[in-house]
Amino acid sequence: MFARFWHGFGHLRPRGPVDGPPALVIPGFIATDRTTLALRKALAEAGWRVHGWELGWNRGARADTIRCLKSRLDAISAQPILLVGWSLGGVFARELAREHPERVRAVVTLGSPFSGDPHQNNVWRLYERVAGHKVDAPPLPRITEKPPVPHLAVWSRRDGIVAPRSARGLEHERDDAVELQCTHMGFGVSSRAVREVVLEIDRFLKSHE
């Protein structure tokens, strides 16, 4: 646990080579850019220019979430940007790509509940208390069809928070699905899991671009 905690230390500014391809990492529910630091470090080490979302704690969907994320894209780069969303952050990434596909290179979701009934996931009651709206009636569209950009869904049957069926999706809801052996928190804090995520992103982009 200490080793994982240690990965959360460090600056939150953009990481990776200045001329590297741009990437935006969106944290999950009740998480921040500090929570995704290990994942962003791994992407930066692989050559990406990685940015945090800079919107503080993710307290659930808001009516202006996509508008705020679009502003982040505009501030990061004029190039199409890779979106990596952990948990609820992946749901945001899909809807951002749906509204602004010309600004998005690809979407990668990590244990994200983008498919099926949201009540099949284990934190929906907590989500409703914190977010202030029903999990199946968010202030953003919840569309299960694949966004018009390449989409890789990374999931785990050991997740424990998000149902594997929800994070894996159906054939028409994503382009590819890859299973990792990690817990839900592992997608963002496990050094082994984040390295595997980076490798799967590289493989996916090479086969779908």
Strands 49-52 and 22-26: parallel
pLDDT tens digit sequence for 196-205: 999 999 999 9
**Partners of 127 in the beta sheet?**
none
Over residues 183-202, mean pLDDT: 95
pLDDT-derived band at 8, boundaries 50, 70, 90: low
pLDDT-derived band at 3, boundaries 50, 70, 90: very low
Q: How far apart are CA 50 and CA 30, in angstroms?
A: 21
Please answer whether residues 82 and 48 qualify as being in contact, where contact means their C-beta atoms are separated by less than 8 angstroms.
yes
Model confidence at 36: pLDDT above 60: yes
Mean pLDDT score of the chain: 94
Question: Which comes out higher in pLDDT, residue 107 or 11?
Answer: 107
Over residues 150-174, mean pLDDT: 97
Q: How far apart are CA 136 and CA 142, in angstroms?
A: 8
**pLDDT reported for residue 209:** 82
**pLDDT reported for residue 136:** 92
pLDDT tens digit sequence for 116-133: 999 999 999 999 999 999
Over residues 20-27, mean pLDDT: 98
**pLDDT reported for residue 142:** 83
**Partners of 107 in the beta sheet?**
83, 151
Please answer whether residues 54 and 13 qualify as being in contact, where contact means their C-beta atoms are separated by less than 8 angstroms.
no
**pLDDT reported for residue 1:** 42
Per DSSP, the three-state class of 122 is: coil
**pLDDT reported for residue 45:** 97
